[in-house]
């Protein structure tokens, strides 16, 4: 009998509401550059793709030129501040712990596949007491591959000791959906994340509005996941 599918989660906007600390750090860095702050609701939709992408999107939102050396300087400044304030206000989304407990009782195992830097991902999850829940935590620098490249998802599955034909992804963005599609892995989308448009428009295999619905969603897709393509 096949083992239950490995569940691979995105991090920002899926497992943890990291927007408060990310946006505050972005605006602190912008302030040091004499740039105006970006309003919270607008900045929230810019999250995804990693910190450097957030900075670039923020500059684009302010109609500022993208200068590589300046982005690198702001990136280093961002990392320095964010590392010290990574969990000031970031918290797991409601119902996460209960959902993980329920799924673990059904012998599911978990991994994280994120475009956040690996060391920052580990730092955040450790501070929130979540790191030990995951068999692998892979960031953009783990192997030099970023989502939506399916190889990142495949490598995360392998790092967790899973099989690519027996996994389900959970994410909040079009990038996550494209990654899962390219990897031929079913995807559950969360409706409470940072997607610029309603995530349902991108056609996930299953949509949930809270983690209370995750066990049911996993059960619905488990048969589809066991497909050694």
Which stretches in the chain have pLDDT values below 70? 1, 226-229
Do 133 and 176 share a structural domain?
yes
Do 210 and 118 share a structural domain?
yes
Give the residue from 115, 126, 221, 110 showing the smallest Cα distance to 159.
Answer: 110
Q: Which residues does 172 contact at the CB level (< 8 Å), separation at least 6?
A: 10, 13, 14, 48, 189, 190, 192, 193, 194, 195, 199
CA distance 8 to 168: 6
pTM of the model: 0.94
How much is the pLDDT for 17? 98
Catalytic member of 10, 12, 17, 176: 10
10 part of the active site: yes
Do 97 and 60 share a structural domain?
no
CA distance 162 to 100: 17
Q: What is the CATH number of the domain that holds 109?
A: 3.40.50.1000
Do 206 and 147 share a structural domain?
yes
Is there a domain that residue 68 lies in?
yes
CA distance readout (Å), 205 to 186, 190, 193? 6, 11, 16
Classify residue 197 as exposed, middle or buried by CB count within 10 Å of its CB (0-12, 13-18, 19+): exposed
- The tokens for 228 are 């050694």
Domain end: 64, 84, 104, which one? 84
Do 210 and 108 share a structural domain?
yes
Report percent pLDDT > 90 for the chain. Answer: 87
CA distance 170 to 214: 9
Do 136 and 108 share a structural domain?
yes
How much is the pLDDT for 228? 46
Contact 147, 175 (CB under 8 A): yes
Do 175 and 136 share a structural domain?
yes
Kindly report the average pLDDT of the chain as a whole number: 94
Do 101 and 42 share a structural domain?
no
Domain end: 84, 103, 126, which one? 84
Do 150 and 61 share a structural domain?
no
Do 62 and 131 share a structural domain?
no
Do 181 and 110 share a structural domain?
yes
- Domain span holding position 156: 6-17+91-225
pLDDT tens, position by position, 110-142: 999 999 999 999 999 999 999 999 999 999 999
H-type helices in 85-166, by residue range?
96-105, 118-127, 150-159
Q: What is the CATH number of the domain that holds 62?
A: 1.10.150.240
How much is the pLDDT for 196? 86
CA distance readout (Å), 215 to 17, 135, 189, 219? 20, 19, 13, 6
Structural domains in the chain (count): 2
Domain end: 35, 50, 84, which one? 84
């Amino acid at each position: 009998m096949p083992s239950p599918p490995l569940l691979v989660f995105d991090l920002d906007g899926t497992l943890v509401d990291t927007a408060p600390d990310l946006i505050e750090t972005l605006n602190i860095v912008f302030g040091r550059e004499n740039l105006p702050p970006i309003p919270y609701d607008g900045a929230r939709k810019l999250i995804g793709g990693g910190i450097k992408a957030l900075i670039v999107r923020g500059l684009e939102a302010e109609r500022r030129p993208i200068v590589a050396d300046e982005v690198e300087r702001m990136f280093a400044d961002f990392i320095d501040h964010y590392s010290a304030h990574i969990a000031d206000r970031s918290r797991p989304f409601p119902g996460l712990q209960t959902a993980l407990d329920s799924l673990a009782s059904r012998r599911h195992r978990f991994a994280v596949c994120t475009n956040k830097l690996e060391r920052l991902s580990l730092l955040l999850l450790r501070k929130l007491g979540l790191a030990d829940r995951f068999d692998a935590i892979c960031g953009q620098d783990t192997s030099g591959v970023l989502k939506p490249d399916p190889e990142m998802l495949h490598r995360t599955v392998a790092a967790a000791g899973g099989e690519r034909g027996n996994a389900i992804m959970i994410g909040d963005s079009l990038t996550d959906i494209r990654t899962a599609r390219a990897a031929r892995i079913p995807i559950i989308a969360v409706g409470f994340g940072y997607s610029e448009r309603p995530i349902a428009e991108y056609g996930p295999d299953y949509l949930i509005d809270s983690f209370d619905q995750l066990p049911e969603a996993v059960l619905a897709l488990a048969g589809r996941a066991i497909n050694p393509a």
